[in-house]
Amino acid sequence: MSVIDKLRQTVCGLHAELVRYGLVVWTAGNVSGRVPDEELFVIKPSGVSYDELTPDSIVVCDLEGNLVAGDLAPSSDTAAHAYIYRHMPHVGGVVHTHSTYASAWAARGEAIPCVLTAMADEFGGEIPVGPFALIGGDDIGKGVVETLTGHRSPAVLMRNHGVFTIGESPKAAVKAAVMCEDVARTVHVARQLGEPLPIERDDIDSLYDRYQNVYGQRSAR
């Protein structure tokens, strides 16, 4: 199996995680993955039901968003994904969802404040808001890049739209999307009870460093 075939298989499988965690409805949302050492990425085709996705239906595009391989039209968000890959070479995966709670924050144009240790761990601070942009061109990608450049968060709430997440791999980007919706829901519930208590900046930094560099299983050095 080629590298691209393996990536198609991985990205196809990760779309099931979006459904599993309730981050998408109908055919909305998508996962893409950069092809290592190539100016290519793979992405979900436009308007295809999640239960009809197969590895062969995942299409291959170049970093300008042009279709390179596949029989179906690429996602309507392809230009945005392509822009992110062109301008953020460390990114290996991109995810877009309209998950309910995070999209509600996006509809308000409000960043999610860092009031949970889980947020400090995963996002290193607040989850920021990006600008409004129309779908179809690369304006969304520009907004994602502008907002996340220099920011520790792998997630951005695009105003009046939804969530975009990035990661070193497609799986990491999916995890960020799952975590984004989880904390968006919890912080929303907290605000129904009163004003959530902020976490001090030094404590956020400490939590982020521990989670990113110590937490979990590490290879023997």
| Cα separation, 115 vs 68, whole angstroms | 44
Give kind and range of the element (H or E) at residue 107.
helix 100-108
CB neighbour list of residue 117: distance below 8 Å, 6 or more residues apart: 199, 207
CA of 107: how far to CAs of 21, 26, 100, 119, 141, in Å?
Answer: 21, 20, 10, 20, 18
CB neighbour list of residue 194: distance below 8 Å, 6 or more residues apart: none
Q: Which of 46, 49, 86 is nearest to 64 (CA)?
A: 86
121 annotated active-site = yes
215 annotated active-site = yes
| Catalytic residue, candidates 77, 121, 138, 182 | 121
| Cα separation, 118 vs 208, whole angstroms | 9
Catalogue the active-site residues. Answer: 121, 215
